[in-house]
Amino acid sequence: MHCPYCRENRTRVIDTSHDVRGGVRRRRVCLSCNERFSTYERAILSSPLIVKRDGTREEFDREKLARGFRIACAKRPVSANDIDRLVGEVEATLQGMGKAEVPSRVVRDLAIAGLKGLDHTAYIRYAIVYLGLDDLNSIRDEIDHLLE
């Protein structure tokens, strides 16, 4: 850690405190200029790699998920904020799993469950594309299920 005043890299920790979110704040003093400053350290949550059906892996892509949601929600009473929130929820759930890799099916299931709670028409559209509800009977079953 370099001193922000003089760039010296020898500093001494004079106080350490933990915050409710699991972060650590350290009060430091520069051994060269004696200025004091604080540093804050917290874990950076990263999303697991997504294992696709063909076995290849890719980074979780927020934008790709949002794009799928936007297409499904076209002309539906769903705001850009709702879509943002949904993407954030899916991402937070993935990160919360604490796994290095998850199958893409998990992402789709989370996305579909979230969309189901938001807008039924958007949910059906999304499910048709991403679940491969490509025959009329399974689409009707799904709609019947929603109408129950």
The stretch among 32-40, 70-78, 94-102, 129-137 that binds Zn ion (CB under 5 A) is 32-40
Residue that is written with structure tokens 């290095």 in the block: 100
Is residue 24 a contact residue for Zn ion (CB under 5 A)? no
Beta carbon nearer to Zn ion, 33 or 45: 33
Is residue 3 a contact residue for Zn ion (CB under 5 A)? yes
Burial of residue 13 (CB within 10 Å: 0-12, 13-18, 19+) is exposed
What gap in Å lies between CA 78 and CA 65, rounded to an integer? Answer: 15
Closest CA relative to residue 114, chosen from 102, 104, 126: 126
Distances (CA, A) of 117 to 1, 32, 110, 112: 46, 58, 11, 9
The stretch among 4-12, 64-72, 113-121, 130-138 that binds Zn ion (CB under 5 A) is 4-12
Beta carbon nearer to Zn ion, 14 or 45: 14
Q: How far is the CB of 5 from Zn ion (least distance, A)?
A: 4
Q: How far is the CB of 119 from Zn ion (least distance, A)?
A: 56
**Beta partners for 26?**
16, 39
Beta carbon nearer to Zn ion, 5 or 146: 5
What gap in Å lies between CA 114 and CA 133, rounded to an integer? Answer: 18
Q: How far is the CB of 12 from Zn ion (least distance, A)?
A: 11
Is residue 31 a contact residue for Zn ion (CB under 5 A)? no
Is residue 102 a contact residue for Zn ion (CB under 5 A)? no
Q: Which residues bind Zn ion (CB under 5 A)?
A: 3, 5-6, 8, 30, 32-33
